Chains A and B, each alone.
Chain A
Amino acid sequence: MKRNFTLAKYLLRKNRSSIFSFSLILLISTLLFASALTVNNNVSKDYDALHEQLNTANAFFTVPAVQYTEDLVNALEELHSVEMAEGRRGVMLSVPVEMEGSQQEQTQIFFSLKNTGELNRFRVVEGFAENAGKGICIANYTYIHSSLEPGSSYAFDSNGNSYSFPVIGVLEDMQYGNYASSVIGQYLTEESFQKLLGQEPQNEVVVISVKADSGREAYCDVSKYLNEKGILVISKNYDENMKNQRLAISNILVLILLVFSAVILLISLLVSKFKIQQSIEEEMANMGVLKALGYTGNEIILGVILPYLISGLTVTCLGAALSYLLLPVLGNVIMMQSGFRWEPGADITADLTVILISLLLITVFTLLPAARIRKLNPINAIRGIRQSKAERNYFEMDKTAGSVGMLLTLKNFVNMKRQNILLGIVLFFMTAAASFVIILYYNINLNPMNFINTLVEEHPSIIVKSDEDMETELAKMEHVERVIYYDEQCSVSYRDDSYKTFVSESFEQLANDLCYEGRNPETDREVAVGSRIREAYDLQTGDTIVLSRNGREEEYEITGFIQSVNYSGEVLELTVDGYRRVEPDYTPGTLYLYLDDERLAGAVMEEIEETNETINSTMNYAESMESAMDLYVSLVGIICIVIIVITVLLIFLILSILISSIITRQKQELGIFKAVGYQNRQLVRHLVGGFIPGSLLAVIAGALVSKLTLGKVYGFIFQAVGAYKVNFVYPTGLLCLTALGLIVSTLVIGVALAERIRKISVYSLIRD
């Protein structure tokens, strides 16, 4: 073993710069890999644990208090899928909240801190004076995204009443802890709750929480029961659906990290394979001597691969350890979206998995090229006799057209096949990775509408609610492009289940076409169906379904299928007349205004409020959307910068390995070129030029594959959060620019690294 270490130490010293580069690449890979695995293994598990610890309901339904009786809970407990049911009173209000610096209209349910049952307990994140007389404990989600904090005051106006509650704490609950159900839960002291209830008796609701083995089954059973009893369900959800929505960012993050770390790991493995092949060629004579001295093939192989195994083990352990510095950052990102406070802890399984997988792959990738040492004939090795067929002299200079520079560059290209393949693989993957983030950046940061259209429903500039018909009047206002009646608050039943229904007079005029297959309804006999309902009942375009409301049933023909991330695809679309068939008294009261310049939304909204007294409420939706986008914009900005930096770093490391190995191997050749009169810049050009054809090919292939597959990749990612129609665009020009940027970076880095040639004197090249 000692003999192996001697050879390993020698090779480690000799190849220290390339082993350093290999280690750095491996470190990045294991850091990301370990982080991704820890997130993957723990976030979901910790979420479930907290869900269980807080005894969170598996399904829940918000119903008007006037329709609730204690008997209802008893009746629900009789359902076979329900283990336990519980009702909790609250006040449901639409509250303007300042989120990320701008006003957003949020539906919130205010509970009493005193009125807590067995289910849906909460945990204290910050503050919380149990005996406080007045005050509110805000949800962690509100705390993260707003400027509210313990000691501040939560003030808002609702239905003409002004409220102000001192914030006494921050709580986390798993039921209404984030906006996945489009409702946020806040907790008032009993005194404050009674005051609010006294002012808002018409908004009193009861949240019926259900504990069950299967949340989905209980959700269906209870929905059916409530529908049968004619009880209006204001909002509802179940555990699995909530979890998917709350952890969507976490899942996407894990996916990106895993794919990216796998690509980087592959690159580090290829580097180790390449360097071992090269070491064997360079040390052939020495290995021959060792064999002649009595070393066995396996002993020499162990000596060759040992530096990679030792540095691999060290670096993977370091990467796994360093991942604990990255995890709080990822935890923060996950918390921003989910509202779920994830505290990363040690995950030995993830760490060991990363270390073992990496080491196993390093062993395989280093053994593959090292295996030929076994067949090495000592005498041939000492004499430098290579058992390879005679290589051709490509691009004969007296017979091939082209300048001497071009021909020497082409010769270099042919002679650097292996280096070109390695660089090509790296550039191919890096082009794909860079294209992925550039497209993400383009569609989220530069053209946010593409992202908004994918994830949210309709997004006007302003929403106006009025009991009177103001369509014509508002349409005449300056900067108003169009006004459309659009209602997201309607509901109809299908097969005993009640579904949110989007009602509009003209879906074609909306800013966001939710239809991912077929078309929107145009007549009163047509309906478009949400993705989840389609899957549940295997519906097809052209099918006729029966919808009902308040006991009135009508037939509709399915014209298409729509997506809805916020409502998990459990939605329907009907025209105003179509909805009136089941609700004859329906009068649309929500107007969506579209401005020619969304920046003017605030001013136009003010003007509407000042000049129209019949308005119930207005909302600057453009501003809300912009603030909601801030989280994604900054997150994507960070991801973009990180991936671009890693991409450039990887190109730098690979090129530094390749170029330094070429300069070392061809030191004498470069000396000869210099001796006969070649200038440094010519040699740099020939050397870097030799990488151009391979790099170009790889980058073009990477850009082409990106162009062809990015749509599918994003489709796959967004499908995980329920978006079937990805409105991203993939501009060819942008992908070409990315490819060009990578080629230019490669050349600039290549030239900078090849400048080392300049420092070596021609005499020393020959003398050495």
Chain B
Amino acid sequence: MKTIIRTRDLVKSFTTEGGTQTIINHLDLDIYEKDFTVIMGSSGAGKSTLMYSLSGMDRPTSGSILFGGEEITKMSNDKLAVFRRKYCGFVFQQVYLLDRMSLMDNAMTAGLLVEKNKKVVAGRAKELFEKVNLPEVTYRKRVNQVSGGEAARAGIVRAAINRPEVVFADEPTGALNSDNSTAVLDVLTELNRDGQSIIMVTHDRKSALRGSRIIYLKDGKIYGELSLGSYQQDKVERGDKLDQFLREMGW
């Protein structure tokens, strides 16, 4: 499989009044194309920090990150912004839509950064809204006029609108009820089936089950790794395999 992200000797540390705290500790990691990579670990293990470093949202303290063969740690802020708009899509736990705009405008705001043709972007947005089951009457509403589940699905539309190399999802179901969680995970799974590479950080076993590869972080290092293969709803042994892995990891 083709490697799309490669980190070598990656370190991220924070200096606080109590001293220096290393969150990512000399980490080497390869992320493969079309994989649904799930990053797990206990609180403070460095899951989100790793994800935001990989996506160019945050800068590591040292080490290298090659994204599509390009070193992103040396990029200027402006270059990183261009990099993110082209290669990354983001789904956040708190959704983080621009709440003074409609759901459609949220998608267009991201889409028009890459594709200047408004019709093309609007067409792609409508296609994605259909895929996430949001009708026009809903995606024309402002963010504060829709439910949490609808907003979360709109967040996925925004993340996928530019056909990014990788969609980064940070606890995408963390703030949703069970039905909405399933709906969001279904959309992500479907995107992955269509060939979309996804990196998801989660605490949730049910969410992790959707992944094809589980990486478990502990003290800023890869503590364990599990290959689950592509998601099939009725396969019971996937769950057993994940449960056993998590037990081994001390979950």
Decide if B6 is an interface residue (CB 8 Å cutoff): no
Interface: B105 (CB within 8 A): yes
Q: Which stretch, A371-379, A393-401, A722-730, touches the partner chain B?
A: A393-401
Q: Establish whether residues B118 and A763, one from each chain, have CB atoms under 8 Å apart when the complex forms.
A: no
* Contact for B108 among A397, A415, A674, A679, CB less than 8 A: A397
Cross-chain contact B96 with A668 (CB below 8 angstroms): yes
Residues A672 and B98 in contact, CB atoms below 8 Å apart? yes
Q: Which residues of A contact B92 (CB under 8 A)?
A: 766
A679 close to B78 (CB less than 8 A): yes
Does any Cβ of A come within 8 Å of B112's Cβ?
A: yes
A675 touches B84 (CB 8 A): yes
- Complex interface residues of chain B between 193 and 221 (CB less than 8 A to chain A): none
**Which chain A positions have C-beta within 8 A of B67?**
none
Is A678 touching B81 in the complex (CB atoms < 8 A)?
A: yes
Chain A residues bordering chain B, tally (CB within 8 A): 29
Distance A373 CA – B122 CA, assembled complex (angstroms): 43
The yes or no answer to A536 lying at the interface (CB within 8 A) is no
Contact with B along A382-401 (1 / 0, CB 8 A): 00000000110100111000
Interface of A is mostly: helix
CB distance from B229 to the nearest CB of A (A): 31
Chain A 640-677, CB within 8 Å of chain B: the 1/0 string? 00000000000000000000000000001101111111
In-complex Cβ contact of B158 among A397, A398, A676, A763 (8 A): A676
Q: Are B118 and A397 in contact (CB under 8 A)?
A: yes
**Which listed residue (B85, B102, B109, B145) contacts A408, Cβ 8 A?**
B109
- CB contacts (< 8 Å) of A393 on chain B: these are 100-102, 105, 140-142
> Given A397-B112, A763-B57, A763-B58, is A681 in contact with B142 using a C-beta cutoff of 8 Å?
no
Mark each residue of chain B from 172 to 204: 1 if its CB lies under 8 Å from any CB of chain A, else 0.
Answer: 000000000000000000000000000000000
Q: In this complex, what residue of B is CB-closest to A397?
A: B108
Alpha-carbon gap, A393 to B103, bound state (A):
10
Asked if A134 CB lies within 8 Å of chain B CBs, one says: no
Specify which chain A residues have a CB less than 8 angstroms from the CB of B101 in the assembled complex. Answer: 393, 411
Tell me if B113 is interfacial: C-beta within 8 Å of chain A: yes
Of the candidates B99, B110, B118, which one forms a contact with A677 in the assembled complex, judged by CB atoms under 8 Å apart? B110
For chain A, residues 415 to 431, give those with C-beta under 8 angstroms from any C-beta of chain B.
Answer: 415
Mask, A746-766, CB within 8 Å of B = 1, is 000000000000100111001
Among B77, B86, B88, B118, contact of A398 (Cβ-Cβ < 8 Å): B118
- Give the residues in chain B near A396, CB-CB below 8 Å: 102, 104-105, 140
With most chain A CB atoms within 10 A of its CB, the pick from B81, B101, B112 is B81
Report the bound CA distance from A678 to B81 in whole Å: 6
Q: Which residue of A lies closest to B114 (CB)?
A: A677
Produce 1/0 per residue, A347-385, CB < 8 A to B.
Answer: 000000000000000000000000000000000000000
The residue on A at minimum CB distance from B49 is: A763
Could you tell me if A398 and B104 are in contact, using CB atoms closer than 8 angstroms?
A: yes
Distance of A672 from chain B, by nearest CB (Å)? 5
- Among A391, A404, A668, A762, the residue within 8 A (CB) of B109 is A404
Please state if A391 and B81 are interface contacts (CB–CB under 8 Å).
no
A397/B109 contact (C-beta < 8 A), A391-B100, A766-B92 known: yes
Residue of B nearest to A681 (CB): B78
CB–CB A676/B110 < 8 A: yes
B contact residues around A203 at 8 Å (CB): none
Given the known A-B contacts A390-B145, A680-B77, are A766 and B82 also in contact in the complex, defined by CB atoms under 8 Å?
no
* B36 at the binding interface (Cβ < 8 Å): no
Neighbouring B residues of A398 by C-beta, 8 Å: 104-105, 108, 118, 121-122, 125
List which B40-85 residues lie within 8 A (CB) of chain A: 52, 57-59, 77-78, 81-85
Specify the chain A residue showing the minimal Cβ separation from B162. Answer: A677
Q: How far is the CB of B205 from chain A (nearest CB, A)?
A: 25
**Which of B113, B142, B145 has most A Cβ within 10 Å?**
B113
Q: Which has the most chain B C-beta neighbours within 10 Å: A398, A403, A758?
A: A398
How many angstroms between the C-alpha atoms of A677 and B83 in the bound complex? 7
- CB contacts (< 8 Å) of B99 on chain A: these are 669
Residue of B nearest to A398 (CB): B122
Question: Contact check: which of B84, B104, B122, B141 meets A676 at CB < 8 Å?
Answer: B84
Q: Smallest distance from the beta carbon of A413 to chain B beta carbons, Å?
A: 12
Which bracket fits the contact residues of B?
35 or more
Q: Using an 8 Å CB-CB cutoff, how does the interface string of A677-704 with B read, 1 for contact, 0 for none?
A: 1111100000000000000000000000
Q: How far is the CA of A758 from the CA of B80 in the complex (A)?
A: 13
Can you list, as one digit per residue, whether each of A617-661 has a CB less than 8 Å from chain B (1) or not (0)? 000000000000000000000000000000000000000000000
Minimum distance in angstroms from B237 CB to a CB of chain A? 37
Q: A696 vs B145: C-alpha distance in the bound complex, in angstroms? A: 33
For the complex, what is the distance from the CA of A396 to the CA of B107, rounded to whole Å? Answer: 11
- Out of B82, B140, B142, which one reaches A679, CB within 8 Å? B82
Given the contacts A396-B105, A669-B98, A675 and B82 also touching, CB distance less than 8 Å: no
B108 touching A675 by the CB < 8 A rule? no
Which among A403, A672, A676, A763 is the interface contact of B52 at CB below 8 angstroms?
A763
- B100 contacts A404, C-beta separation under 8 Å: no
Bound state CA distance, A390 and B143, in angstroms?
A: 11
B5-43 to A contact mask, C-beta < 8 Å, 1/0? 000000000000000000000000000000000000000
> Are B118 and A676 within 8 A (Cβ)?
no
A404 to B112, Cβ gap below 8 A? yes
The interface residues of chain A lying within 8 Å CB-to-CB of B77 are 679-680, 758
Let me know if B97 is at the binding interface, CB within 8 A.
yes
Q: How far is the CA of A762 from the CA of B96 in the complex (A)?
A: 13
A residues near B158, Cβ cutoff 8 Å: 676
Asked if A677 and B142 make an inter-chain contact with CB atoms under 8 angstroms apart, the answer reads: no
- Central interface residue in B83, B97, B100, by most chain A CB within 10 Å: B100
Report the Cα distance A163→B125, complex, angstroms: 98
Q: What residues of B have a CB within 8 angstroms of the CB of A681 in the complex? A: 78
Chain B residues with CB under 8 A of A397: 104-105, 108-109, 112, 118
Q: Are B57 and A415 in contact (CB under 8 A)?
A: no
- B 153-167 binary contact with A (CB < 8 Å = 1; else 0): 000001000000000
Q: A396-B104, A398-B104 are in contact. Are A676 and B142 (CB under 8 A)?
A: no
Chain A residue numbers with a CB within 8 Å of B145 are 390
Q: Which residue of A lies closest to B108 (CB)?
A: A397
A671 to B102 Cα, complex, angstroms: 18
Nearest to B110 among chain A residues (CB) is A676
- The chain B residue sitting closest to A401, CB to CB, is B118
Task: Kindly provide the distance from the CB of A57 to the nearest chain B CB, expressed in whole angstroms.
Answer: 74
Question: B140 contacts which chain A residues (CB < 8 A)?
Answer: 393, 396
Q: How far is the CB of B177 from chain A (nearest CB, A)?
A: 18
What residue in chain A is nearest B139 (Cβ atoms)?
A398
In the complex, what's the smallest C-beta–C-beta distance from A36 to chain B, in angstroms? 44
- Given A393-B142, A397-B118, A668-B96, are A678 and B105 also a contact pair (CB < 8 Å)? no
Is A676 a contact of B105 with CB atoms below 8 Å?
no
Cβ-closest chain B residue relative to A763: B58
Q: Output the least CB separation between A407 and chain B (Å).
A: 8
Q: Which residue of A lies closest to B88 (CB)?
A: A677
| B84 & A677 in contact (Cβ 8 Å cutoff) | yes
Name the distance in Å between B10's Cβ and chain A's nearest Cβ.
Answer: 15
Distance of B110 from chain A, by nearest CB (Å): 4
Known A396-B104, A398-B118, A404-B113: A677·B98 in contact at CB below 8 Å: no
List 23 A-B pairs, Cβ < 8 Å: A391-B100, A393-B100, A397-B109, A404-B108, A415-B100, A668-B96, A671-B96, A672-B97, A673-B98, A675-B57, A675-B90, A676-B85, A676-B158, A677-B83, A677-B113, A677-B114, A678-B85, A679-B77, A679-B78, A761-B59, A766-B57, A766-B92, A766-B96
B interface, CB within 8 angstroms of A: 52, 57-59, 77-78, 81-86, 88, 90, 92, 96-102, 104-105, 108-110, 112-114, 116, 118, 121-122, 125, 140-142, 145, 158
New contact pairs (11) apart from A411-B101, A677-B110, CB-CB < 8 Å: A393-B141, A397-B109, A398-B121, A398-B125, A403-B112, A404-B109, A676-B158, A677-B82, A677-B86, A677-B88, A678-B85
The 10 A-B pairs at the shortest CB distance, nearest first, are namely A677-B85, A763-B58, A404-B112, A397-B108, A398-B122, A393-B102, A676-B110, A677-B84, A679-B81, A679-B78
Q: Tell me the A residues contacting B by CB distance below 8 Å.
A: 390-391, 393, 396-398, 403-404, 408, 411, 415, 668-669, 671-681, 758, 761-763, 766
